[in-house]
Structure 1
C-alpha cells in the first residue's frame, strides 16, 4: 500500500482548496468516478483511498480508488489516443480460388441485380443523372395505346 499522507476534504469541483486532487491521499465523502467532458463525477462513500497502481498511471490519468474497509474498489481507465502514424491498415484476407471469376464480389453483385421497386429505381436514376422523375416514369399515353391495340402483340412475330 502506498503512503497515504494526511487526510484532506474534497470539494464538489474536484479540487482541494484550489489545487488539483493529488494521488495517494485519503479522500473523505466523495470518490472520483470518471471524467466526462472536462467535468468530474463523484460517487458518495464514507471514506476512501485513492492511489495509483504504477508510475504509468500518472501519465495516462488512470485512477484506482479503494474504501478503507476494502469493500469497494473503483478503477477508471480512460482510452488512450493512438496517433494515426502508429496505426496499420486492416489485413485483407484473400481466399485463393481455382475459378477465373471473382466470386468474392458475389454479394455486391447480388445487391445490384436484386429486383427493386420502380420508385427506388427512379430515385437512383434521378440522383445519377440530375433529372426529374418524369424523365424516368413511363408515359401514360403509350401505356394506354399499347393496352388498347392488341394487334401490336400479334404482329410482333407471326412465325412463332
Structure 2
C-alpha cells in the first residue's frame, strides 16, 4: 500500500497542471493489484509535415535476383579491341602489335594428307 502511494505521488509531481479543455483525457492511469497501467493518447501530427509512402516495386516470381535484361547487359558488353590492346601495351611496356594476333595463325590451312596412313 505504501508503495502505491509513493508511486502515485511521484506520478502527480511529474504531471504538469496544464489546463485541458478536451473531453478526452491526455492520460489514463489505473491500479490493479501491484501493477500500474498508463495510457497516453497518440499525439496529433500535422499533415504538412508528412511524407508519402514509398511505392512498392512489383516482385517477380523468379528465383533469380537478376533480371534477364540486366544479365544481357552484363554479358553482351564488349569493349573495342584497340582500347584493350592499348591498355595491355601500357601495362606490359610492349607495343600494341603483340596484342593483335595475325588472322593467318588462327586459320590454319587444312590440307589432306598425301597418304592416308600419315
Bin for the TM-score computed over the shorter chain? under 0.3
* Structure exhibiting the larger radius of gyration computed from Cα positions: 2
Q: Which has the higher contact order (CA 8 A, sep 6+)?
A: 1
- TM-score if structure 2 supplies the norm length? 0.27
Q: TM-score, normalised by structure 1?
A: 0.22
> Which structure carries more helix by proportion?
2
